[in-house]
C-alpha cells in the first residue's frame, strides 16, 4: 500500500512506539509488501510516529512496569447498540502523587490516533507527571478505540470501521470518566464528582477541546495542545509553514528545485524521463507519484522535538544535503548563474541543489526499494489491489478512514500557481484523495463519502472554539498551526487563567506534552509553558474547591 502525502499523520511525531513499529513491520510480512513501501509511502504519513525508520532514533525500549495496562468495557455502538458488541478499552494509571481526600483531580491524556503505549512516557516524565505532581492527582493515558490493543472489531473493512467516528470515541471517554474504578483507590474518582482535566495533543488536542464542549459537566477542564479544531478538505498551509520556517537557503533550494521539476515534467518527453532517471525513478510511470516521492523528506519537519530522546534531526540532514556545494561556494551565487549549473546529459542542465536533491532521494528513499520490487510497485498509487488487505495489522487504514470520513487535511500544493511552493503542483486534491475510494469500497452498512464531511468537526467551534477552563496551546512553527486556534485565519484572543491561549516560541508539534522529571533541565520556553500550565490548572482546582464549598 502506497499511502500518499495526504496522510500526514497528525501525532506523536516526536514519539516512537516500539509496538507500533512492530505492527507496521508485521503488516508488511504476509502480503509480501516490502519495507520500502512502508518507508516511502509512510515517509510523510507516519513520519514522526515511525521516526526511527527515517531518523536515527531507536524505538522506546524502556518498560514501564509501574503502569500495567488496565481495561475498561465499552459498547461498540454507544448510540444504537447496533451490533450489541462490547470491547476492552486499554488505559494506564500513574498513582505516584495521588493524595486521597484532597479533591485531587484526574488528569487524563487522550491517546489519539496511535497506540496508547507511545504515550506512556508522558505519564512518567511528561505533562501528566508534571500536572499530577503539582496537584496530587491521578494520571491516566486512555487509548483510543481501534488503535493499539483497543480493538473492537475483527478486521478493518469499511463496515467494520464504521464505528470509528468522533462521536463514538468521545462517548467512550465520557463513559470512562463517569464510571471508571481505579485499582487500589477507594475514593470514588468518577466525574462529575471529581475534577477531570482532559489533555490531548494534535488530533487528541482537538478531542480535548471537543470533550470540554460536548461534556461540560464531566470534563471540568481541558488542555488542547496543537489542537486541530479546524478540519479542512485541503491543507496546503501545512507545507507553507515549513517553507517559511525552514532555514532560508534550504527553502530557496526546495522552491527552485520544485519549480524546475514542474517545468520539466510539464514539458514531458526525454528531459522528463532523464529527470526521473536522475532520481533513480525512471520506472515510475505517473508523474504525480514521482512528485510525491520527492516530497517525502518534508515530513521530517514535524519529527523535530526539543527532547532528543524523541526528536529526529532528519530535516536538518536533508537541508544540509541539498546545500552541499560540489565545488567552491556556489550557494552564494544567484540562481541561474551558469557556475551553479551542471550538464547531466539528455538536454538537462540543472542547478547543483537539484542534483543534491536527486542524490538524497536515490540514497535515502529509492535505495530501500529492492528486488524483486519495481519502483512502480514501491511508489506507485494507481494499483488498487495494493489497498485491499483489511486484517487488523493494516493499521494505516485507521487514521486514513478518519481522514476520508470526517477530517480531510489532504496536503496539496498552494491553490495559486504563482505562490512559491516546495510541493509540486502535481500534488492535487485528486491525487491525494483518490486513496479513499481505493482503500474503502462501499460496505453493506456504510459508504465513505466522496469527500470527508469536515462540518462534523467544525460545528464544534472550529478556530473559535472556546470555553472557560479550556486551554489552547500551540507551537509557533508547527505545520499544523494553520488548523488550530492560533491560525493566521483565526480571531486573536486574550490569554487568561480561565481561557489560556499560549503560543510556544520556536515549537513544532505539542511540545508541552514532553517533559523531564526535573523541569529545570528543560529548554527555557518549555519550562515556561509547564510552569504556566501548573499555575492555571491549580487555579482551576481552587475554583472547584470554592464552588463545592458554596454548594
Ligand atoms: C446491547 O445489545 C446486547 C445484545 O443484544 C445486550 O446484551 C446489551 O444489554 C445491550 N446494551 C444496551 C446498553 O442496551
Ligand atoms: C482543595 O481543597 C482540599 C481540601 O480542603 C485541599 O486539600 C486542596 O489543597 C485544595 N486544592 C486547591 C487547589 O486549593
Ligand atoms: C470482517 O469481520 C466481520 C465480523 O466482524 C465479518 O462478518 C466479515 O466477514 C469480515 N470480513 C472480512 C473481509 O474479513
Ligand atoms: C455532515 O455533518 C454534519 C454535522 O454532523 C451533519 O449535520 C450533516 O448532515 C453532514 N452532512 C452530510 C452530507 O452527511
Phi, psi of 350 (to 5 degrees): -125, 150
202 catalytic residue (yes or no): yes
User: Could you give all domains of the chain from N- to C-terminal order, each with its CATH number?
Assistant: 18-46+233-439 (no CATH), 62-229+457-550 (3.40.50.1820)
- pLDDT for 230 equals 98
Contact 76, 160 (CB under 8 A): no
**Closest ligand to Cα 194:** 2
Q: Give, as one character, the DSSP assignment of residue 285.
A: -
Mutate to test the pocket of ligand 4, among 167, 404, 456 (most ligand atoms within 8 A of CB): 456
Q: Reduce the secondary structure of 352-378 to three states and give it as a string.
A: HHHHHHHHHHHHHCHHHCCCCCCHHHH
544 lines ligand 2 (CB under 6 A): no
Q: How far apart are CA 127 and CA 494, in angstroms?
A: 23
Query: What's the 160 CA to ligand 3 centre distance in angstroms?
Result: 7
Nearest CA-CA partner of 202 in 313, 109, 123, 69: 109
Q: Which three cell numbers stand for residue 226?
A: 496543537
Q: What is the number of H-type helices and E-type strands within the chain? A: 19, 12
C-alpha 322/C-alpha 54 separation (Å) is: 17
- Distance from the alpha carbon of residue 492 to the mean position of ligand 4, in angstroms: 28
Mutate which of 77, 81, 86 to test ligand 1's pocket (most atoms within 8 Å of Cβ)? 81
Helix (H) or strand (E) holding 171: helix 166-179
Pocket residue to mutate for ligand 3, from 151, 160, 387, most atoms within 8 A of Cβ: 160
Grid coordinates belonging to 437: 475510494
Q: Which is nearest to 451 in space by CA: 485, 393, 484, 408?
A: 408
- State the residue for C-alpha cell 549549473: 341
Preceding peptide of 192 cis, ω within 30°: yes
CA of 146 to the centre of ligand 1 (A): 20
**CA angle in degrees (0–180, nearest 5) for 180-184-186:** 70
Q: What is the pLDDT of residues 351-361, one digit of tens each?
A: 999 999 999 99
Ligand 1 pocket residues where CB is under 6 Å: 75, 81, 84
Q: CA dist 401 to 211, 433, 503, Å?
A: 21, 11, 30
Per DSSP, 18 falls in state H
Does ligand 4 have an atom closer than 6 angstroms to the CB of 450? no
**Distance in angstroms (rounded) separating the CA atoms of residues 421 and 401:** 28
Q: How far is the CA of 169 from the centre of ligand 2 (A)?
A: 32
Alpha-carbon gap, residue 87 to 73, rounded angstroms: 6
At 64-87, the pLDDT tens digits run 999 999 999 999 999 999 999 999
Q: How far is the CA of 541 from the centre of ligand 2 (A)?
A: 8
Closest CA to 135 of 111, 102, 172: 102
Backbone angles phi, psi at 262, to 5 degrees: -65, -40
Query: Residue 391 CA: which ligand is closest?
Result: 3
| Atom of ligand 2 at shortest range from CA of 102 | 7
Question: What pLDDT does 550 receive?
Answer: 57
Distance CA 84, CA 401 (A): 23
Residues of the chain with pLDDT under 70: 1-61, 328, 549-551
Q: What is the pLDDT of residue 371?
A: 87
Angle, helices 352-364 vs 248-267, to 10°: value is: 90
Asked whether 61 and 148 are in contact (CB, 8 A), the reply is no
Q: Any idea what the Cα angle at residue 213 is, between residues 208 and 218, rounded to 5°?
A: 80
Instruction: Output the pLDDT for position 498.
Output: 98
Q: Nearest Cα to 356, choosing from 382, 386, 317, 398?
A: 317
List the one residue out of 330, 333, 297, 332 whose CA is nearest residue 315. 297
Cα gap 231→229, rounded to integer Å:
6
Amino acid at each position: 500500500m502506497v499511502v500518499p502525502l495526504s496522510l500526514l499523520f497528525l501525532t506523536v511525531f516526536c514519539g516512537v512506539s516500539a509496538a507500533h513499529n512492530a505492527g507496521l513491520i508485521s503488516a508488511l510480512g504476509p502480503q509480501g509488501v516490502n519495507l520500502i513501501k512502508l518507508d516511502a509511502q509512510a515517509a510523510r504519513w507516519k513520519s514522526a510516529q515511525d521516526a526511527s525508520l527515517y531518523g536515527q532514533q531507536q524505538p522506546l525500549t524502556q518498560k514501564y512496569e509501574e503502569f500495567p495496562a488496565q481495561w475498561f468495557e465499552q459498547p461498540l455502538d454507544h448510540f444504537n447498540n447496533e451490533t450489541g458488541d462490547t470491547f476492552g478499552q486499554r488505559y494506564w494509571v500513574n498513582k505516584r502523587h495521588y493524595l486521597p481526600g484532597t479533591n485531587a483531580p484526574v488528569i487524563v491524556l487522550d491517546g489519539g490516533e496511535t497506540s496508547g503505549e507511545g504515550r506512556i512516557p508522558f505519564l512518567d516524565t511528561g505533562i501528566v507527571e508534571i500536572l499530577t505532581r503539582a496537584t496530587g492527582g491521578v494520571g491516566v493515558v486512555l487509548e483510543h478505540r481501534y488503535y493499539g490493543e483497543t480493538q473492537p472489531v475483527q478486521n478493518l473493512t469499511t463496515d467494520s470501521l464504521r464505528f470509528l467516528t468522533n462521536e463514538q470515541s468521545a462517548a467512550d471517554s465520557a463513559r470512562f470518566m463517569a464510571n471508571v474504578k481505579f485499582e487500589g483507590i477507594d475514593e470514588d474518582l468518577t466525574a462529575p464528582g471529581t475534577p477531570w482535566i482532559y489533555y490531548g495533543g494534535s488530533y487528541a488536542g482537538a478531542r480535548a477541546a471537543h470533550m470540554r464542549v460536548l461534556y461540560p459537566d464531566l470534563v471540568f477542564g481541558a488542555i488542547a495542545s496543537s489542537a486541530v479544531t479546524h478540519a479542512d478538505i485541503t491543507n496546503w498551509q501545512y507545507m507553507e509553514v515549513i517553507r517559511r520556517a525552514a532555514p532560508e537557503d534550504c527553502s530557496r533550494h526546495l522552491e527552485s528545485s520544485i519549480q524546475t521539476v514542474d517545468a520539466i515534467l510539464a514539458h514531458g518527453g526525454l528531459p522528463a524521463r532523464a529527470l526521473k532517471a536522475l532520481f533513480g525513478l525512471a520506472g515510475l510511470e505517473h508523474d504525480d507519484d514521482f512528485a510525491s516521492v520527492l516530497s517525502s523528506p518534508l515530513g521530517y519537519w514535524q519529527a523535530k522535538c526539543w527532547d532528543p530522546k524523541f526528536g529526529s534531526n532528519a530535516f536538518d540532514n536533508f537541508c544540509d544535503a541539498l546545500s552541499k556545494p560540489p565545488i567552491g561556494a556556489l550557494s552564494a551565487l544567484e540562481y541561474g548563474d551558469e557556475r551553479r549549473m551542471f550538464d547531466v546529459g539528455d538536454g538537462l542542465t540543472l542547478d547543483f541543489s537539484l542534483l543534491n536533491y536527486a542524490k538524497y532521494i536515490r540514497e535515502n528513499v529509492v535505495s530501500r526499494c529492492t528486488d524483486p520490487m519495481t519502483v512502480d510497485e514501491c511508489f506507485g498509487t494507481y494499483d488498487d489491489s495494493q489497498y485491499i488487505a483489511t486484517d487488523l495489522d493494516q493499521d494505516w487504514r485507521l487514521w486514513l478512514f478518519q481522514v476520508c470520513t470526517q477530517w480531510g487535511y489532504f496536503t496539496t500544493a498552494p491553490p495559486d500557481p504563482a505562490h512559491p511552493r516546495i510541493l509540486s503542483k502535481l500534488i492535487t486534491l485528486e491525487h491525494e484523495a483518490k486513496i479513499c475510494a481505493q482503500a474503502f469500497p462501499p460496505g453493506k452498512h456504510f459508504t465513505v463519502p466522496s469527500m470527508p464531511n469536515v462540518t462534523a468537526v467544525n460545528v464544534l467551534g472550529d478556530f473559535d472554539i472556546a470555553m472557560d477552563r479550556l486551554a489552547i496551546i500551540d507551537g509557533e512553527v508547527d505545520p499544523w498551526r494553520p488548523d488550530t486556534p492560533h491560525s493566521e485565519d483565526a480571531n486573536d484572543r486574550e490569554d487568561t487563567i480561565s481561557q489560556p491561549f499560549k503560543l510556544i516560541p520556536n515549537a513544532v508539534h505539542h511540545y508541552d506534552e514532553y517533559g523531564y522529571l526535573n523541569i529545570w533541565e528543560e529548554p527555557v520556553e518549555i519550562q515556561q509553558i509547564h510552569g504556566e500550565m501548573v499555575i492555571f490548572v491549580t487555579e482551576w482546582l481552587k475554583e472547584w474547591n470554592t464552588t463545592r464549598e458554596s454548594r
